[in-house]
């Protein structure tokens, strides 16, 4: 069974069909990229899957069970994690305390915030920080972190909930190319190690074609293609919707931003 089944999903805003009958699955352990030009409906899809928006039509199933009209909190509890859209960290706490609080919440334990979090789940939190390469910063204040490190902390917090599916809408927004590659490579390793599934959006075609197991392409609210990197790269409809968006599809297969130096 697929982890996630999205079927005939639809949402309009006024007269605009932001998402217009979109159907796709996410398989277990799959790293699936949802791409498309600005305004294609990617974020609207994410927000219907995570419960922020109620669909006008269609269904979303997690391991066979409909989650389409549950609250964000219920969907999160059912095992759909997400990162990077909200400022998920508490600046006044240390890095490890943020992960400990996520673990407390995941284990259903009540905690009264009387200043510090204490030793609860410290070992497990440290192990998660180690996994995202942040163990050496465990006792730093969260507000001192560099941008890329905040993202890695948010990833550790998301993992604390042991999600079946992780949603990442533009996780690398605002990152330089090297940092962007490192973050996506890290998430990909976690997908492989833990068998979780990830649905993500990403502007860099290089990153998408390098790391995604499969790619789903939206344009004006509709799914226009899905497949592996080679088939998406060669797809004429996909090339057509990216015309004029600053992305250049190279003959040999690589894609780069217009104006960027050739690799």
In the bound complex, which residue of the shown chain has the CB atom lying closest to Mg ion?
43
18 or 165: CB nearest ligand ADP? 18
156 or 218: CB nearest ligand ADP? 218
Q: Which does 36 bind (CB under 5 to 8 A by kind): ligand ADP, Mg ion, none?
A: ligand ADP
Handedness of CA 32, 129, 89, 61 (dihedral sign): positive
Tell me how many residues contact Mg ion (CB under 5 A). 2
Interface contacts to ligand ADP, rule CB under 6 A: 13, 16, 18, 36, 38-44
Strand order, beta sheet including 4-13: 16-26, 4-13, 57-62, 65-66
Paired strand residues for 31? 198
Q: Is there binding between residue 100 and Mg ion (CB under 5 A)?
A: no
3-state SS of 218-241? Answer: EECCEEEEEECHHHHHHCHHHHHH
141 or 245: CB nearest ligand ADP? 245
Exposed, middle or buried, 11 (CB in 10 Å: 0-12/13-18/19+)?
A: buried
Closest approach of ligand ADP to the CB of residue 201, in Å: 7
Closest approach of ligand ADP to the CB of residue 222, in Å: 11
Distances, alpha carbon 40 to alpha carbons 43, 44, 178, in Å: 8, 9, 26
Q: Which does 41 bind (CB under 5 to 8 A by kind): Mg ion, ligand ADP, none?
A: ligand ADP
Write the interaction track for Mg ion spanning residues 16-55; mark x where CB under 5 A is met and - where it is not.
Answer: --------------------------xx------------
Q: Is there binding between residue 83 and Mg ion (CB under 5 A)?
A: no
E strands within the chain? 4-13, 16-26, 31-35, 57-62, 65-66, 80-83, 165-168, 197-200, 214-219, 222-227, 247-249, 255-257
Write the interaction track for Mg ion spanning residues 186-225; mark x where CB under 5 A is met and - where it is not.
Answer: ----------------------------------------
Tokens of 98: 């943020």
Closest approach of ligand ADP to the CB of residue 109, in Å: 36
Residues forming the site for Mg ion (CB under 5 A) = 42-43
């Amino acid at each position: 069974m697929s982890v996630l089944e999205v079927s005939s999903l639809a949402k309009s805003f006024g007269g605009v069909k932001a998402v217009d009958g979109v159907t796709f699955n996410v398989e277990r352990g799959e790293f699936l990229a949802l791409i498309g030009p600005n305004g294609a409906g990617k974020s609207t899809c994410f927000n219907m899957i995570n419960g922020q928006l109620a669909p006008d039509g269609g269904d979303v199933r997690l391991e066979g069970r409909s989650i389409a009209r549950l609250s964000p909190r219920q969907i999160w509890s059912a095992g759909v994690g997400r990162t990077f859209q909200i400022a998920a960290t508490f600046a006044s706490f240390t890095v490890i305390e943020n992960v400990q609080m996520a673990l407390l919440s995941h284990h259903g334990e009540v905690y009264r915030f009387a200043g510090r979090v204490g030793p609860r789940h410290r070992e497990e939190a440290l192990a998660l920080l180690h996994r995202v390469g942040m163990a050496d910063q465990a006792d730093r204040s969260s507000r001192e972190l560099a941008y890329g490190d905040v993202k890695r902390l948010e990833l550790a917090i998301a993992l604390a909930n042991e999600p079946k599916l992780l949603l990442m809408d533009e996780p690398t927004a605002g990152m330089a190319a090297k940092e962007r590659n490192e973050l996506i490579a890290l998430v990909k390793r976690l997908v492989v190690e833990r068998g979780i599934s990830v649905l993500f959006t990403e502007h860099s075609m290089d990153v998408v074609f390098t790391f995604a197991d499969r790619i789903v392409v939206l344009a004006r609210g509709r799914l226009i293609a899905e497949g592996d990197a080679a088939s998406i790269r060669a797809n004429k409809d996909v090339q057509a919707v990216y015309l004029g968006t600053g992305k250049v599809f190279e003959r040999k297969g690589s894609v780069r931003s217009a104006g960027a130096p050739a690799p």
